[in-house]
Amino acid sequence: MKNGFSLGWALAITPGLLLSLYAASDLPINSQACAVQCTLLQYSISDTVWYTGTAPYEESLASYFSSFEAELRPRCIIRPKHTEHVAKVFRTIASISSWTSCQLAIRSGGHTPFAGSANINGGITIDLSLMKETTLSEDHRIAYIQPGAEWVDVYNRLVPEGLAVPGARVAGVGVGGFTTGGGISYFAPRFGFTCDSIINYQVVLANGTIIHANASAHADLWWALRGGSNNFGVVTRIDAQTFDQGEFWGGLLVWEESKIPQLLEAYYDLNSSPNLDPYAQHVLSIGFQGGGVAASNNIHYTKPQRNPPSLRGYTDIQPVLVNTTRIANISSFTTEQDSFSPKGLRQDFFTATVVADLKLYYEIQELWNASLATVVNATGLQYILTLQPLPRVVMQESARRGGNALGLDASKDLTILCLIASWRNANDDKWLLGAQRQLIDKILAAAKRRDRSSRFKYLNYAFAGQDAIAGYGPQSQKRLRAVSSKYDPSGFFQKGVPGGFKL
């Protein structure tokens, strides 16, 4: 019904609801629409709709990773407890289509740093963080994971069973956004991206229908959700293949700045396919904090073997200033990494991907140094360059597991760069974001000059304005758009859900 409420809704209107609707008519059009929708939703799914000033509303905002997201104030926040609640939200909205000028945001773990990805000013945020259960199939080969879980919730359920799934390397990251954006885990060379281990997605479509997307039903949507983010529906359950995994070796190593050239060389050697050990994982970071530059590496070997030969390129570089390596379980490692990533700061991530090349890495480090010199006086600054290996074996594993939407070339070893900054003062926002954007442009230009560029911009590390979907290439983008037209013919998730990366 286009111009008003459906009969079902008219009959459901109570005097209290009418009062709220009339009160809403004083607001600007988008706010009116949102006020009305919040009220209707409150009547259709009570105890899930929260307004400013209530504890569940304020708690939800306070739990975002970055202050950019936490500062946005939705008209109401919906906190569904199960899939049927999510479906009801969309059925309610679909039944009052004349009011759909109210826009929505979808949030799982709330770890995207930039404003508006998983929250919305004045609109409605669907916060899935209460849907966080993990259960196992009878044979323990499949974990059924709700999207609002933090990865540590999943690991805590699986570790006692001697199992794992390839999830985030930081405890508090959410399942929903991570998995629909790709997902790089400690296990990437063994199992590909996290999305490649997802054998089924349960999805609520824009019309409120609940469907399952897997290899035999809605296979096009299954493929699209492996990287296509929030463009098709709300994912309400993720079914991931488990594997046997006990404790393993790993931890943090820190060196002084002078060791960076040696570390880059070790990084390059380890990320080159002939030397690749699929059990070895490493993330090299060069960072400024508290007045100085240092280098660190989160190294892990996913077997219970201390200091394996394949990681000695790093461990032989001495002296090591901090060394937390040990044999432990995945909950312990990811909790340790979480402790280095405090919430509530002004944060950004920017990304670029380059083809593995040692000379290019040296140049990138110089560019980063020059950029740091321009921002070093920002209050509470943390300024980090991370290099994350994406050897071709990861893409080969993706293909073996049904493929994904990321459009990556399996013939080259790649490095994903993630520029991370955090700071305290809002007055520094423009300056710092500008410096990061400039640095990315310079890195991309350097890679191009050396014929080492890649179009890929990893969606989970991209900042607003970096067109992550275009980075999948024209073929993948075209296919994603076709899937969107089929499952979301009104384009609700393109216009009605503006956050994140659109097709």
Nearest to 238 by CA among 177, 329, 164: 177
110 belongs to the binding site for ligand FAD (CB under 6 A): yes
- 358 CB contacts (<8 Å, ≥6 apart)? 264, 265, 268
How many residues touch ligand FAD under the rule CB under 6 A: the total is 32
Q: Say if residues 36 and 315 touch (Cβ distance below 8 Å).
A: no
Q: Is the peptide bond before 309 cis (omega within 30 degrees of 0)?
A: no
Give Dmax over CA atoms of the chain in angstroms.
75
Residue of 63, 112, 125, 453 interacting with ligand FAD (CB under 6 A): 112
Using CB under 6 A, which of the segments 152-160, 226-234, 301-309, 313-321 binds ligand FAD? 226-234
Q: Is there binding between residue 500 and ligand FAD (CB under 6 A)?
A: yes
Q: Which is nearer to ligand FAD, 24 or 184 (CB)?
A: 184
Among 96, 173, 405, 480, binds ligand FAD (CB under 6 A): 173
- Rule CB under 6 A: say whether 74 interacts with ligand FAD: no
107 binds ligand FAD (CB under 6 A): yes
Q: Which one among 235, 260, 432, 435 touches ligand FAD, defined by CB under 6 A? A: 235
**Which of 257, 252, 259, 336 lies closest to 292 in space, CA to CA?**
257
Tell me the DSSP string of 409-433.
-TTS-EEEEEEEEEES-GGGHHHHH
228 binds ligand FAD (CB under 6 A): no
The secondary structure of 297-343, three-state, reads: EEEEECCCCCCCHHHHHHHCCCCCCEECCEEECHHHHHHHHHCCCCC
Rule CB under 6 A: choose which of 40, 87, 93, 170 binds ligand FAD.
Answer: 170
Looking at the Cβ atoms of 65 and 288, the one nearer to ligand FAD is 65
Q: Does 106 bind ligand FAD (CB under 6 A)?
A: yes
Show Cβ contacts of residue 288 under 8 Å, excluding neighbours closer than 6 positions.
372, 376, 381, 382, 383, 384
Q: Contact between 419 and ligand FAD (CB under 6 A)? A: no
Residues counted in the chain: 503
Q: Which stretch binds ligand FAD (CB under 6 A): 132-140, 180-188, 241-249, 421-429?
A: 180-188
Q: How far is the CB of 168 from ligand FAD (least distance, A)?
A: 4
The β-bridge partners of 116 are none
Tell me: does residue 80 bind ligand FAD (CB under 6 A). no
What part of residues 45-64 is at the interface with ligand FAD (CB under 6 A)? none
Q: Is 147 in the site for ligand FAD (CB under 6 A)?
A: yes
Q: How far is the CB of 325 from ligand FAD (least distance, A)?
A: 18
Q: Do residues 176 and 147 touch, judged by C-beta distance below 8 A?
A: yes
Q: Is residue 437 packed enough to be buried (19+ CB in 10 Å), middle (13-18) or exposed (0-12)?
A: middle
Footprint (CB under 6 A) of ligand FAD, residues 330-369: 341
CB of 390 to ligand FAD, least distance (A): 11
Provide the Cα torsion 370, 372, 373, 376; round to 10°. Answer: 180
Q: Is 117 in the site for ligand FAD (CB under 6 A)?
A: yes
181 is a site residue for ligand FAD (CB under 6 A): yes
Q: How many angstroms separate the CA atoms of 44 and 48, rounded?
A: 10
With binding defined as CB under 6 A, does residue 227 bind ligand FAD? no
User: Stretches 76-84, 167-175, 263-271, 368-376: which one binds ligand FAD (CB under 6 A)?
Assistant: 167-175
Three-state secondary structure string covering 195-234: HHHEEEEEEECCCCCEEEEECCCCHHHHHHHCCCCCCCCE
Judged by the rule CB under 6 A, the positions of this chain that interact with ligand FAD are 65, 106-112, 117-118, 128, 147, 168-170, 173-174, 176-178, 180-181, 183-184, 229-230, 234-235, 341, 460, 499-500
